[in-house]
């Protein structure tokens, strides 16, 4: 089986909606880029899981993905992931996969369907030292532009707790009703977002 190519994102201006803070500017010259966005690789899995475990276990007691599942998705579909690195250190990430049904199911938690046209966002997390700085917002907006620039991807879906619905609505997500997926005692709202507008923003930023 051939290994999927890893996509590196060239620096480009972000077109963020009003109210979403921009990424911090570069203050001084470094050997490593001050801020780098790139797709993740299986070698990043341990760092991803460390951030995810701290972010989710402390809140809900569950991780969206275990370490094996992180490695699984970063091997099969690294182009549907995105990490934010500050001076070479991973500080925030999103992991996604393709899905080929209208709504999420329990199977969607662990499967990648290459023929699908929906980017399923499994997890978004920010390192504890970098929270309350708007990094999650910047990373999500950049991810939607990145995913929308892929010809096969037409929309994005995710599931979240009710308290996070307003956050995702700021990025064009709309509630699709209760999600069929249940994790322990937790229930979720399913959110859908068309990526057509985000693809146009990506094309304009590349000019």
> How confident is the model over 136-179, as pLDDT tens digits?
999 999 999 999 999 999 999 999 999 999 999 999 999 999 99
Task: With cut-offs at 50, 70 and 90, classify the pLDDT of residue 88.
Answer: very high
Q: Which of 168, 192, 198, 201 is catalytic?
A: 168
Strand (E) positions, the chain?
A: 36-38, 81-86, 89-99, 118-126, 155-160, 174-178, 189-194
Angle between helices 135-148 and 196-205 (to 10 degrees): 90
Q: Which of 65, 80, 121, 124 is catalytic?
A: 124
Q: Which of 72, 112, 120, 122 is catalytic?
A: 122
Domain ranges for the chain: 35-194
Asked if residues 177 and 190 have their Cβ atoms less than 8 Å apart, the reply is: yes
| Torsion angle of C-alpha atoms 148, 192, 39, 200, degrees rounded to 10 | 20
Q: Which of 111, 164, 194, 205 is catalytic?
A: 111
The question of whether 122 is a catalytic residue gets the answer yes
| Torsion angle of C-alpha atoms 160, 140, 168, 65, degrees rounded to 10 | 0
The question of whether 143 is a catalytic residue gets the answer no
Q: What is the reported pTM?
A: 0.81
- pLDDT of amino acid 149: 94
**Domain 35-194 = CATH 3.40.630.30:** yes
Q: Which pairing describes strands 81-86 and 89-99: parallel, antiparallel, or unpaired? A: antiparallel
Residue 189 pairs in a beta bridge with: 160, 178
Q: Which of 23, 81, 97, 108 is catalytic?
A: 97
**95-109: buried (b, 16+ CB within 10 Å) or exposed (e) per residue?**
bbbbbeeeebeeebb
Percent of the chain with pLDDT over 70: 78
The question of whether 124 is a catalytic residue gets the answer yes
Residue 18 host element (H or E) = none
Q: How far apart are CA 5 and CA 24, in angstroms?
A: 29
């Amino acid at each position: 089986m051939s290994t999927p190519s890893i996509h590196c994102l060239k620096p480009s201006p972000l077109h963020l909606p009003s109210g979403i803070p921009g990424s911090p500017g570069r203050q001084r010259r470094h050997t490593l880029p001050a801020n780098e966005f790139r797709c993740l690789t299986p070698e990043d899995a341990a760092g991803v899981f460390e951030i995810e475990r701290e972010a989710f276990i402390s809140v809900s007691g569950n991780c969206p993905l275990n370490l094996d599942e992180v490695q699984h998705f970063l091997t099969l579909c690294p182009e549907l992931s995105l990490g934010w690195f500050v001076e070479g250190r991973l500080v925030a990430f999103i992991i996604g996969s393709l899905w080929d049904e209208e709504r999420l199911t329990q199977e969607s938690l662990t499967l990648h369907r290459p023929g699908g046209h929906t980017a399923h966002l499994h997890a978004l997390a920010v390192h504890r030292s970098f929270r309350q700085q708007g990094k999650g917002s910047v990373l999500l907006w950049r991810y939607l532009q990145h995913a929308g620039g892929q010809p096969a991807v037409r929309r994005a879906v995710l599931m979240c707790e009710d308290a996070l619905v307003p956050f995702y609505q700021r990025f064009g997500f709309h509630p699709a009703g209760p999600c069929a997926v249940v994790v322990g005692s937790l229930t979720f709202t399913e959110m859908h977002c068309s990526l057509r507008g985000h693809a146009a923003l990506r094309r304009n930023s590349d000019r």
